[in-house]
Amino acid sequence: MAKALHDVSIAEAGAMLRSGSVTSMALTEHALDRIRSVDPLISSFITVTKESALADAAAADAAFAKGIDKGPMQGIPHALKDIYGTAGIRTTCHSKLLLDNIPKEDSVVAAKFKAQGAVMLGKLATHEFALGGPSFDLPFPPARNPWNPDCIPGGSSSGSGAAVAAGLVRMAMGSDTGGSIRGPAGYCGTIGLKPTYGLVSRRGVFPLSYTLDHCGPLSWTVEDSAIAMEVIAGFDPLDPASADVAVPDFRGKLGKGVQGLRLGLPRGWFVNADGASAETLKAIDDAAQTLAKLGATIEEIELPDYELYNACGRVIMFSEAYAIHEKDFQTRPQDYGLYTYLRMTMGAFVSATDLTQAMRLRRELAQAVNAKLKGCDALITASTLAPAPGFSEADPNSPPNFPIQTMPFDVTGNPAMSIPTGFSASGLPLSMQIVGRAFDEPTVLGIGAAFEAATKLPERRPSFAVAKAA
């Protein structure tokens, strides 16, 4: 039986576009129809750019007709978290403070997709300024989890995770400062790749924390994240953090398997962690066994205490975020959502000495991870520690800290990808992370692709009735 059009990957859609068996216009109209029928249940989009999307699709089809092929994203619908600046298109950061913000220029990432002829369907929900959520006191509703709309989709790239899992887009861009790509990926059952710090330009993306922010894709398949990375990676001399390194071959290790790879497993981090579910832990152990059967060697390793990474990352993040928002916090604090206000205010109370100690600790913690990666090709570890919690589990008066272990690799800057490992008894996705050496995304993606092929987890989609009907 042929796949539904929304289940066709970017790689498959690209082949179909080039063979003439589908048009970008057909892909785009199908996506817009699906957004219209499904998104009211999950609120993943803040803005749908229907007119410009249809124009982009027509342009892509015209280019194909002329034999012009700009690359693998030509004619492919996608969407951007609403912190990515988009010329002439409202960019709100899901906040009252930026309701009327219409950038004059595209972010570098948006410009790169545009230059390749991709079709931008719209802007996606986020936690306010990529920090405060899930919240009901913001100008737009919070995104919901397509596997169960009573559950959170994770954050802050909440709309990106929800839209990809619901089949509204094959790939959506997110950002990750403490886990904001990998958390939604884990809760929504998608791939979520936080690239190496400095590999993707952040210019034109509203910052949360200068030294922790990463831009990266969420997608339904590993290969589709690799394709997105081909488009967006590269040196940007105007991004102070950008790394002037050779761009790796992101698809170079797909299909090559894991035979002979040594994978470190820092089991001590998560096995007794607060809030870790037995199902999540078993799924990670099962995943390790699957990778071992495929030919990898799994070695338990020890790393510095997880809480050190968490404290280090949070102190830096609060400080840098507050510095960005200081004036607005002093003059119009009431315009922030409660969770944003409560979290970001902490940055006002971090001393210069605290921040310097955090930055000293950061170097030590990064060295500890990279020392282990000298003896291992990659690490596998927990991502989300339990299935997605319900909205009702969040205290309306205090920002929730749901159990998730993504912060370490924002602190270290290593590439880290969340990948589904199975499902809970309640039908919600479970996940783990694959972590690589700096700028070695190809190994991370290669391991993920081997695991994905062995488990065939992408064959299962959210089954809510409206999604079936679309």
Partner 1 sequence: MADSSTDDPALAAEFDILAKRAGLPILAGRRPALLQNYKDLKRMTALMRQPRTAAAEPAGAYSILSVTRSV
Query: Which residues lie near partner 1 (CB under 8 A)?
Result: 211, 237-238, 240-241, 244, 307-308, 310-312, 314-315, 318, 326, 329-330, 333-334, 338, 341-343, 345-346, 348-351, 354, 356-364, 366, 397-399
Catalytic residue among 158, 175, 180, 319: 180
Buried b (16+ CB within 10 A) or exposed e, 380-401: bbbbbbbbbbebeebeeeebee
Question: Residue 8 or residue 138: which is nearer to partner 1 going by CB?
Answer: 138
Question: Residue 235 or residue 423: which is nearer to partner 1 going by CB?
Answer: 235
Catalytic residue among 24, 81, 158, 201: 81
- For residue 362, the minimal CB distance to partner 1 (Å) is 4
Question: Residue 87 or residue 359: which is nearer to partner 1 going by CB?
Answer: 359
The residues, ordered by sequence, that sit 6+ positions from 225 with a Cβ below 8 Å of its Cβ are 171, 191, 192, 193, 216, 217, 218, 219, 417, 445
- For residue 376, the minimal CB distance to partner 1 (Å) is 22
Question: Residue 167 or residue 313: which is nearer to partner 1 going by CB?
Answer: 313
Question: Residue 52 or residue 345: which is nearer to partner 1 going by CB?
Answer: 345
Side-chain-facing half-sphere of 437: CA atoms under 13 Å: 13
Q: How many CB atoms lie within 10 A of CB 11?
A: 18
- For residue 315, the minimal CB distance to partner 1 (Å) is 6
User: Is 156 known to be catalytic?
Assistant: yes
- For residue 452, the minimal CB distance to partner 1 (Å) is 33
User: Is 319 known to be catalytic?
Assistant: no
- For residue 346, the minimal CB distance to partner 1 (Å) is 5
User: Is 112 known to be catalytic?
Assistant: no
Q: How many CB atoms lie within 10 A of CB 360?
A: 11
- For residue 275, the minimal CB distance to partner 1 (Å) is 16
Question: Residue 48 or residue 355: which is nearer to partner 1 going by CB?
Answer: 355
The residues, ordered by sequence, that sit 6+ positions from 80 with a Cβ below 8 Å of its Cβ are 86, 107, 109, 110, 120, 122, 123, 124, 172, 173
Question: Residue 270 or residue 329: which is nearer to partner 1 going by CB?
Answer: 329
**Sole residue written with tokens 């996506």:** 31
The residues, ordered by sequence, that sit 6+ positions from 233 with a Cβ below 8 Å of its Cβ are 195, 199, 200, 247, 248, 250
Question: Residue 19 or residue 330: which is nearer to partner 1 going by CB?
Answer: 330
In this structure, what token pair is assigned to residue 417? 């990808």
Catalytic residue among 43, 44, 156, 158: 156
The residues, ordered by sequence, that sit 6+ positions from 326 with a Cβ below 8 Å of its Cβ are 348
Catalytic residue list: 81, 156, 180
